[in-house]
Each structure stands twice: as C-alpha cells, then as structure tokens.
Structure 1
Amino acid sequence: CVASDIRRHKEIEQSLRAAKELAEEASLAKSRFLANMSHELRTPLNAVIGYTELLIEEADDRGFADSLDDLRRIQSSGKHLLALISDILDLSKVEAGKMELHLETFDVNDMVESVLNSVRPMIERKGLTLSSEVPPRLGFIHADQTKIRQILINLLGNAIKFTEVGSVDLAITLEAAGSSTPQLCFAVTDTGIGMTDAQRRQIESFDAFNQADSSTTRRFGGSGLGLRISNSLAQMLGGQVTIESEFGKGSTFTLILPTGDLASTRLVSPDEIAKIERKPTSQLDDNTASLTNVRLLFAEDGLDNQQLVSCILRKAGADVEVVDNGKEALDRAMQAAEQGTPFDVILMDMQMPVMDGYTATTELRKHNFDLPVIALTAHAMAEDRQRCLDAGCSDFVVKPINRARLIQVIGNSVVTGNSPSPTIGPFLQQA
C-alpha cells in the first residue's frame, strides 16, 4: 500500500511537471509569434504613418485645408494601431518573463512634466482641464524611468478616454504610514463615467483585453491591455496599481511605489547630477538636428521604405545612396573607402535578403570600419536591441520611424563618431 501510494505520488508529480513544461513551451511559442507579428505589422505601418506625415506637410504647404483633416485621421488611426501592437508586444514580454528593468537616476519632477506634456494634446482635443499637484522638489530617484512613465501615460490616457466633461488630475504624495516602508504615490483622478462595485472588481482582476463591459468598449474603444500592462510593470517595480471609483462621478487610479528606507538614502549632489550618463540621442535638439552635407549609405530591401526614408533624410539635407541588402552595403562601403570618399554613416535595416544587417555590420567591424552604423529594425524586444549592439551597431531606430528621432540619432552619431554602447535605453514610441 505504501509502495503504491509512493508510485502514485511520483506519477502525479511527473504529470504535473510535464503539464508545466507544455504550458511554458506554449507561452514561449505565443511570445515568439507575437514578436514576429509585431515585426511584420510594424514594417508596413512605417510606410503608412511616414507617407501620411509627408502628405500632411505637403497639403499644409499648398493650402489644401480640405485634405488635412482626412490625412490626420489616417495618421491618428495608424498611430492607434501602432500603440495596440506595442501593448500586445509588451504583454507578451511580461508573460514570457522577458521584460527587464533598466535602472537610471532621474529627476522625478522632470519626468512628471514630460508625462504631462505628452498627454496635453489629448486633453485639449476633448476640451478637458488637466491639473497637477506635484511637490516642487521631489528630487532624484534610481529606478526604471521608462516603465514609470509608461504606467503614468497609460493611467492618464485611460482617464482622459473615459472623461467627457470636467477634469483629470495627477497628484503626487510621499507617504510613510507608521513603520511601513515609505511610498511614492501617483494618483490619477478623473470626473468620468466611474464604475459600479461589480465593474471595479472586474477591472481589478487586471485581465488582458478586459474592460468594465462590452458597451464601454463600443463607446470608448480600447483593448483593456493598458491597465493589465501597467499593473504588471508596477509589480516589477515592487509596487501596485489600486482603484477607487464611484459610478457616475469618476475614478482614481493610484500607482504606489515603495521608496525604501529614506533615512539611509543619500541625496544626489549637483556635481553628481552633472556626471549622470545621458543617452546619446539627447545631445542634439529636435529643432536643430540637421544632416546637411552628411554622406549616408542606406541599406533596405523594401521599396516603400527605401523611398520614404530617403525622402525624409534628403529633406534633412543628407546625401543618400541606397542599396538593397547587406552584401551590397558591405561592398559599397569598402569601395567608397578605397576611393577616398567614405560615407559618414550607414543606416542598416537588419532583416534583408542575401546578407542581413547583423552579418553586414559584423563584417564591417572585422574590416576595421569605425564609421557609425545605425540599426533600423521592426523588432522591439530587448534581446533584439542587444543583438544590434553586439553586432557592432552604434545606435538603433525602431519602426515605425519617428522622423525627429531618426534625424537626431543619425546627426548625433556623425557628431560623436562610432561609440557602440550597451547602455542605450529601451525604445518608447512617441506620438
């Protein structure tokens, strides 16, 4: 009997272990599928959004006011689709355990001001009021600024979406209740539709693709992914997102982050602040970035993206030569160097036939080419970015392309030269 029980127990353990392995394999397969789908969708979206921006500029210059509204609707829809793709990719990374923290020292007040500036256009479009209660000198913290920023933009965007009349408020407090760990609280309060207790409990489950009810989705849109991702990111940071709501009056979503023991916290001095490493792309201002007289080799196999990116770069003043794959880029770069007319920078798509961008960049470095190579990729996973850096790329730009960032990254690489750095921060698409 004892032997039979032991055998049965072992069989159950083996079955559970096998089921766990199958579930993990399925989760990884789903994450790989979503990452690949993200790549396939980002590439055509790059052309849609990019060409729409060019058409908006042209229509504005020529006074075609009747076309501007329609073009802006196309642009807005493209960016909405991009945001949804990014949310799905983020969710897949969280569920696969591949979301990583990128810690840096930053000024909380500067970060909050940047977040508020990002959502102001949404507030203005709906005729709402945006108010904030932020202590004047919160100071510097060491955390993942990108993820905190993403959570706050998600919470503020959610509040704006569900508020038709009134205001959205962001209040920040530092709380230290009793002997508990001090907490930094970001409370987003709206005067929107609010929720019943049942709806609030449903939202508090933080299930993906979940909103209070289907009529809400039809009326206000959205996938329900934002809150799930925000809560998952908060948990990664050791915090949480809490919800308070009253039906018909509004809701308050609060991001709570533990600060640790403040008594032993050493403040960052102004001298140390000056030494904080800045991301390469912060060295040029969007309004002053220019590529005048920059000789650029652009490797890309897609005709639409060839024409779009070339147009953007030439408008910025660059002298652009286009090749169709990594092998042609390698050969042309070597030929130009031998002729005494080397390129200043190479913009390299990473997924190309014949020879991909990773191989071409690696070969260039083997031949002691130290010119900057900027990776152009539709993959947005952390390991994809690291693969670009490991191949020898100086920096990277993720599709769909943000024109200001593209010009800024290229211009900065020409100013600073080739400086491959493993500390380049995660990409966050800005509208």
Structure 2
Amino acid sequence: SRFLSMVSHELRTPLSLIIGLSEMILREQQEARAQLKLRDMEQIHISAQHLSRLIGDVLDLASSEAGQLHILREPLDLLEVLTMTAKIGEELSREKGLTWGVQFPAETPHVMGDRTRLRQVVLNLISNAVKFTQSGEVRLDVRVDSENVHVSVSDTGMGISLTEQGTIFDEFYRSPHAVQSGYGGMGLGLAITKELIEQHDGSIQVRSPGDLGTGSTFSFTLPLFMDTDASKELQADRNSNLVMVFVEQGDEPSLIAGHLKASGFEVQVYFVDEDENWVRKITRVLPSAVLLGERLAAREGWAVCTILKRRPSTENIILLAYSVEHGQVLKLDYLHKPLNMETLTRELEKIQGSTGKQVTVLVVDDDPGILDMQSRLIEQSGRQVITARNGREALEVVGQKPPDLILLDLMMPEMDGFAVLDELRSRHATRNIPVIILTAHVLSDAELERCNRGVAAILGKGIFSSEETLKHVEAALTHQQALGKATQLLVRKAVAFMHAHYARPVTREEIADHVGISPDYLTDCFHQELGITPSTYIRRYRIRQACDLLRDTDQSITRIALAVGFSDGAHFTRTFQREMGTTPRAYRDSKQA
C-alpha cells in the first residue's frame, strides 16, 4: 500500500500542476483572450482531469493485485441486485436499436457479496456487449444449480477469436480488430471484472465461435449462500442484547462476562487461539457489541474495526477494547476518509476588514511547481504568502513569526507533514494554528486519525478546484472550522458516506443513521459547517459527477442519470438544468465541441 501511495503521488503531482494552472488561466481575464486560446486551455483542463481518472483506474487494479481492493460481503438477493442492471441494459440496447433479452430463474438465488461491485461487473459486461454489437440481440441470463449461480451476458456482435480468448482478461489488453474498428478504451474493464469476481470466490470465462460476427458470451459463476434464512432473520432482528467477548488464552474473561450477564446482557465468550476464523463469527452472528481483550485489541483491534466498518451489515456494531486490570475501556472507531469532500463554490471574501490585520499564509511543499501555484492562488485572494520547501524550514518560519494559516504537504523528504503537524501540536504557541493538508496520496486510517487531531481540512491534490481551495482557506482563517469540533467531524463522516453511496437513492434518515444522529440535527450540522442542507449537497455532488461523465464519455444521458443516482432521465434533466443553467445535451455539446 505504501508503494501504491508513492506511485499515486508521483503521477498526480504533475497532473495537479496542469489542472491547477490551466484553471487559474481560465479564471484570469477571459474576455481579453482569443476564443481559440480559451478553447485550447479548456481542452487541456478536461484532458488532464480525464487522465487523472484513468490513473485512478490503474491504481485500483494495482490495489487488487496487492490485495488492497476490498469488497463488502453481505447476504444478497442476486435477482434484486440485477433487476436495476437489467433495466439499464434494456435502455442501452434500445438506444442502439438492439433487441434485449433477459431470463431469471423462478427461485431466488442468494450469494455473499458486494452489491455495488456485482452491479459494476454485470453492467460492464452489458456495456461491452452493446458497444461491440451493431445489430441483433444482447441477453442477460441467470440460472441456478445445487451449489452455484451462473450469470451470462451474450451478444450477436463481432465475436472474439480463439487466440484472443486466452488473453481477453489481461490488463490493458485490447483486441486488434476492435482497435482497427475505432473502438476506444484502455483494456481495464474486463481485468477489473475478473478481479472482482475472484474476490467473490467465483470464476469468469468467455465463449465465442471465433469467427467475425458470430457473437460472444461472458459468464461468471458464484457460490450460493446456503444460510440465507438464518442470515435474514439476524439482519432483520439483530439481537440487541448480545455481546461477544474475544480474548486470548491466559486472559480471564469471567469477571467482565459475569458483570455483563448481571446487567441483563446475553454474553458469548471465545478464545481466539482456538478459532482462527473468529472475526467471521462476528459478521455471521451480528451482535450489538464486541469486546476485545487488551492484548488482542493491541494486535488486531484496528484491523477488526476496519473489517466491520466496511460491511453495511456490521458497520454499526460497537467495538470495545477493555482492560479490567487497568480499569480502561476504549471505543475503537474511525471516520471514513474525507479526501473527496465536496464544498460550495462561492467566492472568497477578503477578511482584512473583519480582522483588522494582514493575514499571512504559510505554504509548505517540496515540489517547486506546486509551491508556486498554491502561493499564487493565495496571493490572488489578497493574503500575504510565506513559503517553505520542507518541514524543517516550515518549523523555522513558524518559530520566527507564526502565520494565521498553514497549507501543508504530507509527503516531503527529511521531515514529512505528519512530523510537522505533531511538532506544531506539541508547542503551546503553535498548537491552535489552523492547518490545511494538501496530499496526492491515499491516507490510511491511522494517518487520517493522526490528521484529525489538528487539521481544519484535508484536500486531495487535483481533486479540488481553485474556488474550493479558497473556500477552505476562508473557512479556516475566519475560524468557521474549529479544529476537531464535533459538528465538523460529523459532517465529514456524512459527506464520506454520500460520496460512497451517491449512485443509489440515499435518504436524509439513512445518512443520519450512519452518522449516529437525528435527521434534524444532521441538517443543522450541515447548515453550520457548509451553509447548505444534506439534500442540496448530494444533489450538487451528483450533478458534478454527471458533468464529468457528459464531458469525458459517450454514455447516453439516461445511463448517466442512473449512474449518478437519479431514478429517471426526465428528473435528471430538470435538476441538471436548474443547477447548471443548461440541458445535459447542450452541456455535452459545448464541452465536446
């Protein structure tokens, strides 16, 4: 994972420069520039953003090879998962003039799997089938035997030669005939599909006669989940009275177990030395709480926390580490990474009038290009800028004259951003200086926890626009983002949940339940931190994702609407026009002209 973070950092740093500088040029003196030059700059900006997303796909694939691409396993009604995907397939086929066919079994197959990832797999197969079929039919078929469920997507398209069938799932492989015919793509879709199916303990294969125009069939097999009824009962009526206690041999759990039983809880005690699959017990039984002995928690606590948080069926289980001897109970929890936090794009208002002094911002980055770009961005807002090229230099500057705000890069030689942050928080004179972290690599849970102790915001390089960065600067300088305050952390967690689930219908009640607060208090927190409601936020985020798809892909408007969480194209078009001032089709035409 460290290697992947380094790769991400090295690739995205130059992209951050391209995106940031082109965006700044587009904002400056647009009327004075020739229309052709503006069009060229827009194309540079769009191309850089597209390249950044492609790099993300490559890193996702590398993550899977390194065992870092996780799926969220829960009991699923597979037909329920595939029904919406089948509707999308029908729409895609109809738009291209193809016949759509679907056949589901009478009995309902259940599997243990990731709902979103399985939809991604089937939709990718259907999209490929439609893409490479000029006339005829595309079909989705599901059948069940005694142990497995078999899903297949068939088409009457160009077909796949016998020699290619052995390499079609390789990373970056593209069919020579498809390339000659002008079909685009990077050759990542089927490779990622294969990885996801194998993560589900399944297999995937392709069949085709091999001759041009004879069509092909992609099919995958998943093991049936046999314990469906018991699992559904547990999910529908979780035993709110059950506490599972896990300890190692040599620990004495009787005292804590006896106390819990006397308090009315049902208690199950397990010695992990006797069962290497003890974590699986938690995910199957679904207790209300789990207690880990002190030694076990020190070694496995955060790993277990991560597993539970990544599964919808277990994310709300309370996880506690306890020590009877020391009289301590620690709740293990973490916030979802806020690297993709969306903000309002309103103008930065100068604050000199309200503060009565010139505001100073310290920008710290070891990359000269990024350092110059961020400095210019802050100077445009009327702030005084001081720069530092590494962590030690930054601490020297702070020691001489503490700034009002620090923009801090995480990955620097000699002394990284984490060390700088720790040093700042250890000093009485500097512990309350707001810090905005700028990072191009993916933060681990431990790193995020470390940052959350004293960071106003965490921005991903190349993810936030200049306007959004300035908005964070304004909020930090005017103390609208008090360090570590409860409402800010709640909003971060809610925003991360929205980013992860925007592609499906999400209610305010569901978001509030995930965060652990009431819906009304959730709205109050959003008003306080962002100035908008949760509904407005997720609507704008969906429209932003739709803009990217309209600009950078040839997907139909209906498919894009479904992909970003709208139930129908008409509602999407109305919402898009209200937010963007133009229709989706007109927006696409203007960006792809």
Identify whether the pair has TM-score above 0.5, normalized to the shorter chain: yes
Q: Does structure 2 conserve the Cα–Cα contact (< 8 Å) formed by 1:48 and 1:78?
A: yes
- 1:45 aligned to which of 5, 12, 15: 15
| Pair 1:232-2:232 in alignment | no
CA offsets 1:1-44 (integer angstroms, 9 cap, x no match): xxxxxxxxxxxxxxxxxxxxxxxxxxx9xx94x76454333211
Shift of 1:360: 0.7
CA radius of gyration, larger in: 2
SS at 2:366's partner residue? coil
Q: Deviations over 1:138-189 (max 9, x none)?
A: xxx99767866875786677668x5596899997x9x672544668x6x777
Mapped contact 2:71–2:113 kept (Cα < 8 A):
yes
- CA deviation after TM superposition for structure 1 residue 47, in Å: 1.0
**Alignment match, 1:417:** 483
**Cα gap change, 1:179/1:192 in structure 2, threshold over 3 Å: closer, same or farther?**
closer
Q: Which has the higher contact order (CA 8 A, sep 6+)?
A: 1
* Alignment deviations for residues 180-228 of structure 1 (CA, whole Å, 9 cap, x no partner): 4668x6x77788644345433431xx22332333762794354433422
Q: Which residue of 1 aligns with 2:423?
A: 363
d(CA) in 1 for partners of 2:40, 2:122: 30
Aligned to 2:451: 392
Aligned counterparts of 1:422 and 1:103: Cα–Cα separation in 2:
18
Does the C-alpha gap of structure 1 residues 144 and 336 become closer, same or farther in structure 2, counting only changes over 3 Å? farther
Aligned to 2:258: none
1:14-413 alignment to 2 at 5 Å? 32=3, 36-56=6-26, 64-95=34-65, 97-101=66-70, 103=72, 162-163=131-132, 177-180=144-147, 193-203=158-168, 206-213=169-176, 216=179, 219-243=182-206, 247-248=212-213, 260-261=225-226, 262-266=228-232, 279=336, 281=338, 286-287=343-344, 292=349, 297-310=362-375, 319=383, 321-324=385-388, 325-332=390-397, 342-343=404-405, 346-353=406-413, 355-367=415-427, 369=431, 373-380=435-442, 385-386=444-445, 388-389=447-448, 391-392=450-451, 394=455, 396-403=458-465, 407=469, 410=472
2:16 counterpart SS class: helix
Asked whether the 8 Å contact 1:211–1:224 carries over to 2, the reply is yes
For residues 284-336 of structure 1, the C-alpha deviation after alignment (integer angstroms, 9 at most, x for no partner) is 75445776568764322323223434556677x69574522223444555666
Q: Look up the SS of the partner of 2:363 in the other structure.
A: strand
Q: Separation in 2 of the partners of 1:188 and 1:113?
A: 15
- Residue by residue over 1:374-402, the C-alpha shift from the partner in whole angstroms, topping out at 9 and shown as x without a partner, is 4433334xxx5346336435564444334
Percent identity of the aligned residues?
26
Give the 3 Å change call, closer, same or farther, for CA 142–129 of structure 1 in structure 2. Answer: farther
- Report the aligned-residue RMSD: 6.0
Counterpart AA for 2:165: R
1:240-265 deviation per Cα after TM superposition (whole angstroms, max 9, x unaligned) = 55546685376665677668453234
| Alpha-carbon distance between aligned partners in 1 of 2:231 and 2:23, rounded to the nearest angstrom | 47
Instruction: Give TM-score scaled by structure 1 length.
Output: 0.58
Deviation at 1:232, TM superposition (A): 1.4
What one-letter code is carried by the residue in structure 1 that aligns with 2:447? C
CA distance in 1, matches of 2:61, 2:367: 29
SS at match of 2:438: strand
Partners of 1:253 and 1:59 in 2: how far apart?
53
Do the aligned partners of residues 104 and 236 (structure 1) sit closer, same or farther apart at CA in structure 2, a change above 3 Å counting? Answer: closer
**TM-score, normalization: structure 2?**
0.45
Paired residues of 1:306 and 1:322 also in contact (CA < 8 A): no
Asked if structure 2 preserves the Cα contact closer than 8 Å seen for 1:326 and 1:354, the reply is: yes
1:339-359 CA deviation, whole Å, 9 max, x = no partner? Answer: xx743xx43212335532122
Distance 2:20 2:395 in 1: 27
How much does 1:70 deviate? 3.2
Structure 2: distance between partners of 1:392 and 1:304? 25
| Gap change, CA 1:218 and 1:299, over 3 Å in 2 | farther
Given that 1:200 and 1:212 are in contact with CA atoms closer than 8 Å, whether structure 2 keeps it comes out as no
SS in 2 for 1:39: helix
User: CA contact under 8 A between 1:376 and 1:399: conserved in structure 2?
Assistant: yes
| Partner SS state of residue 167, structure 2 | helix
3-state SS of the aligned residue for 1:352?
Answer: coil
Quick one: distance in 1 between partners of 2:386 and 2:471? 19
Unaligned runs of 5+ in 2: 105-110, 241-311, 317-334, 352-358, 501-544, 549-593
Q: Is the 8 A contact 1:312 1:403 kept in 2?
A: no
Pair 155,82 (structure 1): closer, same or farther in 2 beyond 3 Å: farther
Q: What amino acid is aligned across from residue 11 of structure 2 in structure 1?
A: L
**Separation (CA, whole Å) in 1 of partners of 2:84 and 2:26:** 28
Measured in 1, the distance between the counterparts of 2:364 and 2:53 equals: 27
- Aligned letter for 1:389? L
Whether the aligned pair in 2 keeps the contact of 1:385 and 1:396 (CA below 8 Å) is no
Structure 1 unpaired stretches of 5+ = 1-27, 136-140
Deviations 1:104-141 (A, max 9, x none): 99x9999x999x99xx9xx9xxx9699999x9xxxxx9
